[in-house]
Every structure is written in structure tokens, then in C-alpha cells.
Structure 1
Amino acid sequence: MTGNIENNDNSQDEQHVGGTEPQGPRHKRSLTRRKVVVAGAGAAVAVGAGGALAAGAFAGESKPGKGAKGAKASASAGEVCYKLTSETTEGPYYIDADKLRQDITEDKEGIPFTLALKVIDSETCKPIANAAVDVWHCDALGLYSGYESSSTGGGGAPTDAPSGTPTGTPTDVPTGTPTGEPPAGGGGGGHEEPTDDKRYLRGTWKTDKQGRVTFKTIFPGWYRGRCVHIHTKVHVNGEWTDAGYEGGNTCHTGQFFFDEESVLASAAVAPYSTSTTERTTLTEDTIYDQSGVQGGLLQLKYNKKNIAKGVVGSITMGVEPDATHEGTDDAVQPGASASASASAS
């Protein structure tokens, strides 16, 4: 795509990707290089009604003050500004931001979900503008785009499953000791290369002058070994160009989590209700660190009597702009056992 890409975040004046000045690093350091490839004429999609819902998502937040004095004026502001948001594993299903857009839903069915994010410097409390924020998650039945053949999902038993009891003794039983590592499908292991060209429920967009960015998607489902979650990365100190986002460093790799009440409510709504996969609860999950907002727990707003109408989730991420957190080294992988988590931490 050529030309500027319109920012449809209705909480701020119109912004453009092309020609935006990059954030300069505060200290010299080697920068990792990454690039966003803009896909198709429909890459920039308006958040629409979801954006209007998200506009009030931060209404209850205390505005960060200037310096330590301003932060101490509010206990909630202090909590946000001086606690870094937890770093987690990238997981095996990350694709390097090849969809520059805010509406990542495509044609996936599910409960409408608006994700309202704010990115601030955890040391100065100031919002971080022009950061590139990636989000990606599974669909209502646990499948990841780009990895449909290797992500496990939970869509129920196949309708053409063979019936009856097998007879006879197999003659081709393998012998010897197996070698190599088990496959990473289902969430464990390191990064995997995509197996298909689908890219639903994935997207990247820029933060505005207040450090805010909004995505329109669906409420995620679940798969074996993990609670309901959304993955995220924050990239800074790079440059927005007509082609996308280039250079800079990944200052945060994390995940967002959902409280049990909301997940139980979603599980009663189709297509989530058709899943046959046993669900891992928030307290059982091996990635969520049980620290609430600091660990990525979203603040959720929805009609308690009818979650199917839609949900708004919001959170402020406190990050270190000069740090590098790729989420790929010495990190606990999704689907890992509790013992694996302990040994990796």
C-alpha cells in the first residue's frame, strides 16, 4: 500500500502513519530491525461503534502527573506508573505484524470485543505516542490464523469418525527409542513457521498522542492447557513510513487475561458453547502470574445479563522504552506444565 494510512481512533484528531517522526532513543543501543508489510487496500479499517465504546474505557483512570510529585497525588496513578507490566512468552504463533489495521475480526464469529489499550513509560508516567502495538489471539474455538493445522482448537468431535471396535494386532509397531523434541502444536515449544496464509484476529496499529490504541475483534476462545488470553507486543523507537513500521526495539511482550466470570458467561454463547476442550481456569494457568492488572488482567465492561451484546476490555501497560523484551529467551511457553514454569522462572 502506498500513501498515508488514516488513524481511525476517534479519541484523538486524525493522525497519519506516513511522515510521522520516529521516537528517538534516550540512550544509544543496538536496535533490532522489524518491518510491517501493509496488506491490501482494506488494511486500515475504522473501529466504528467499538471505538465509541472504548472512548470511555479510560474514563475512570487518574491522569498521570508530572514527575514523582504528580504520581504520588493518586494511589492508582502510582500503581500504574511504578509497576512494570509483566513480561511473558511470545508463544509459538507470532507473525511479525503483517496486517496494519485496527479491526482484526475479518469473518470470525464470536462475541464483539473492543480492546482499549494505553501505553506509558513506567518511570516517567508519560504516555508513549507512535508506538507500534501488535495483538493476536485464537478464535472462538481455539484456532490461530496462520497455524490452523498445528493449533489444537476445540470444535468438537468430527462427524465422520469411524465407529466400532478395531480388531486384530497391528503389525507395524515402531521399535527403538524416539529421537528429537515433541512437536510444539497446541501452544508449547518455541516459535513455529506459519502453515497457512490466513491472518484473522491479528493486527498492528499505532498509539496516539495519549498513548492509546483501540482494536476491534471478538472475545477469544480457549484451547488445551491455557486460559483465555490475548497476546501483545509493543515496539518503540522505530519509524512509521508509507510501508509501515521499521526498526526500533520490542520493549514489551505480554498477554492479556480475562476474569472467570466473563469467561463462564461467554462459554454459554455460541460458538463458544460448542467447544469440547477442557478449559484451564485463570488460577490454573501457568503463564498468568496472578498479579492482577500488573500481570495483564483486563478491566471488562459488558451487560451481565447478555454478554453476547459485546464486551469492552481496557488496560494500561507500563513499559521500559529503552529495554528489549522479545519474549523468546528463557520464557515459559504456553501449555507448559506447572513444574516447567517453576524451572523456567
Structure 2
Amino acid sequence: MTNNQGPAHKKDVTRRRVIMAGGAVVAAAGVGAGVVATASADEEKSTASGGTAGQGETCYRLTSETTEGPYYIDADKIRKDITEDKEGIPLTLRLKVIDSDTCKPLKKAAVDIWHCDALGIYSGYESMSQGGPGGGTPPSGAPTDAPTGVPTDAPSGTPTGTPPSGGTGGGGGHSEPTDDERYLRGTQLTDKHGYVEFTTVFPGWYQGRAVHIHTKVHVGGKMTDAGYEGGHTCHTGQFFFAESAVLDSAKEEPYSTSTTTRTTLTEDTIYDQSGVTGGLLKLSYRKGRMARGVTGSITMGVDPDETHDGTDL
């Protein structure tokens, strides 16, 4: 996508709001005994200025502008199904985009999502990702040929300069792709009601980050033979998963084979702990049958006149 610079920030991002239709996720997955429906207990309600929320809908404030992280690729993969045969728990992700001032749906907005696979690997960055067997517990015991004593050429004094940072953990600047894989990445245009729906898999985890999905919303461009071109990025955020759902996923293969140390939702440095207002998805699945599939949904309130590309956070 060509991302031309849009208008400067003209409004406080804390005015962003979300409309959540009560019970909509459970209805989509089928109501009945044994259905698990996750939701935030601390959803912050507010009244949308000039809002036109439908009956049974409530406006919520959304403040989840986040970094895009190092693994974004402008792949222009216009598609609903982004799995490319990757193993994992089926996830149907239903997203809605609205104007934060009017609560009206934004049609023909381009929504990107991208995330790691069930073992924490990102397409395009397989050699750099922290997931998989490489992120497990280090071996115990000392090597039999470990050197002893103090090296004679050990440097003295205080080191200068900036110390190296740890793993990327989903933050930091952009990294150039290392391979041509593009699984678990895709873009769609919202319909006249502001909706897009993706078919993917429940993400796994990697060291330093809670389970999450990245997203961008682009407006003002148009679809061409080369993909979505022009316009600007009005929202960059991340979606998060309730801890109970992540624990349930860890019981299923291939997630159960991961030896990577997991970061919980409360330990994550990107998630702001604000529930739905911070990107926490509403999830629905059948208890004990999670392997059959999960439905997740959220509505993103954005200001289409703002520019938030996630590279300056």
C-alpha cells in the first residue's frame, strides 16, 4: 500500500470509541450450554457525541494506538482466509470500523491484520522470530569443559554507549523481511456496514509478549490491480486475548508442544490493561471443544482525518 502522509493529529486520541453489540458474539457462535464467552469486566462506557448507535448498542472509548512492531509487511494480500494451511485452532475474527465522532460505520476502509502462528513464528521473519523450540527453557547443569579463572584480557572500566536491547517482543522499529512467506497476513475492505471478517488460527506466543494480533486501518485510498493504493493510516493497534482463553488453547496441539516461556496479559508491556478499550477481543467457543473453533469480535473507533502509522511510539 502507498501510505501518503495524511492530516496532522487534530483530536485527542482518548476520544476514540468502540461500539460493542451485547451478545452478538455468542449469537454468532451458537448459544447453548458449555459456551465460553469472554468479555472485559471493566469496559468504560461513554456517550458518543452525535452518535447514531443502533438499539442495544453502547459506545465505548478506545485508546489503543500502539506500535506496529518490527514484523509489518505491506503485502497487499487482499483475502479473507489468511491461514495458508497453518495448523492451529480455527479463529473467525469479525471486525467493525466506525467513525469515532459519529459512530457511523466506515465503508471501504482497508483493514490489515497480521500475527504469529501457533508456535510464535511470523511469516517473512521465520529466522528472526522467537517462537518454536528455540524459545524454550535453557538446559540445566554446567558443561564439563567450562573454563575456570578470570581471563587475562578482560576489559576494565565502565562501558560507554547504549547497551543492546533484548528481544523485539512486538515493539521496536521495522525489520526487513528475511523470507518470502506471507501466511497469517491479509487485508480486506470494509462493507457498507463497516465490517470485515477474517479466517485464521488462534495465535501462539513468543518470549516477551502476550498473545496478540496486529492491525492497521487505512482510509482515503482505492483498490487497484496492484492492491490498495494511496490514502493514509488512521489507526494502528493490537488485539488481545483473555488469559482464560489462552490457557485453554495451551491444552491443544500444536500449542501444547511449545516450550517458550509465556508472558501473561497482565505482564505485557504493550497492552494497557483497559479491557475492550485497549483492544481486548470478545471471544466465544465451546468449553472443552475449543479445537473446533473460536469466534472473536471487536469494533474499532477511528478518526479518519488522523494519521497513526505506529512507527513513532
Give the TM-score category using the shorter length. Answer: 0.7 to 0.9
Q: Which of 224, 233, 255 lines up with 1:272 in the alignment?
A: 255
SS of corresponding position for 2:119: coil
The corresponding residue for 1:229 is 212
- In 2, the alpha carbon distance for the partners of 1:85 and 1:101 equals 28
- In 1, the alpha carbon distance for the partners of 2:302 and 2:75 equals 20
Deviation of 1:227 (Å): 0.6
Deviation of 1:66 (Å): 11
Deviation of 1:242 (Å): 2.5
1:325/1:173 CA distance change after superposition, 3 Å: farther
Identity of aligned residues (%): 65
Q: Which of 91, 99, 102 lines up with 2:69 in the alignment?
A: 91
Query: Would you say the 8 A contact 1:151–1:186 is kept in 2?
Result: no
Q: Which of 122, 131, 135 lines up with 1:153 in the alignment?
A: 131
Q: How many residues align?
A: 268
The corresponding residue for 1:126 is 104
Deviation of 1:78 (Å): 2.8
1:135/1:277 CA distance change after superposition, 3 Å: same
Deviation of 1:133 (Å): 0.5
Structure 2, unmatched stretches of 5+, are 1-5, 9-24, 32-46
1:66/1:255 CA distance change after superposition, 3 Å: closer
Which amino acid in structure 2 is aligned with residue 198 of structure 1? Answer: E
- In 2, the alpha carbon distance for the partners of 1:267 and 1:116 equals 23
Q: Which structure is richer in relative contact order (CA contacts within 8 A, separation 6 or more)?
A: 2
TM-score (norm 2): 0.76
Query: Would you say the 8 A contact 2:48–2:101 is kept in 1?
Result: no
The corresponding residue for 2:14 is none
Which amino acid in structure 1 is aligned with residue 273 of structure 2? Answer: Q
Asked whether 1:116 is paired with 2:94, we answer yes
1:128/1:189 CA distance change after superposition, 3 Å: same
The corresponding residue for 1:14 is none
After the TM superposition, which residues 5-84 of structure 1 pair with which residues of structure 2 at under 5 Å, given as runs?
Answer: 29=7, 56=28, 68=50, 70-71=52-53, 76-79=57-60, 83-84=61-62
Deviation of 1:183 (Å): 6.5
TM-score (norm 1): 0.70
SS of corresponding position for 2:131: coil
After the TM superposition, which residues 149-298 of structure 1 pair with which residues of structure 2 at under 5 Å, given as runs?
Answer: 149-155=127-133, 165-167=143-145, 169=147, 177=159, 182=164, 185-187=167-169, 188-298=171-281
SS of corresponding position for 2:59: helix
Q: CA RMSD in A?
A: 3.1
Structure 1, unmatched stretches of 5+, are 1-27, 31-52, 60-64, 332-345
Instruction: Give structure 1 regions of 4+ aligned residues with deviation exceeding 2 angstroms.
Output: 53-57, 65-71, 73-79, 154-158, 163-166, 168-189
Query: Would you say the 8 A contact 1:89–1:328 is kept in 2?
Result: yes
1:183/1:309 CA distance change after superposition, 3 Å: same
Which amino acid in structure 2 is aligned with residue 86 of structure 1? Answer: S
Which amino acid in structure 2 is aligned with residue 77 of structure 1? Answer: T
- In 1, the alpha carbon distance for the partners of 2:166 and 2:285 equals 35
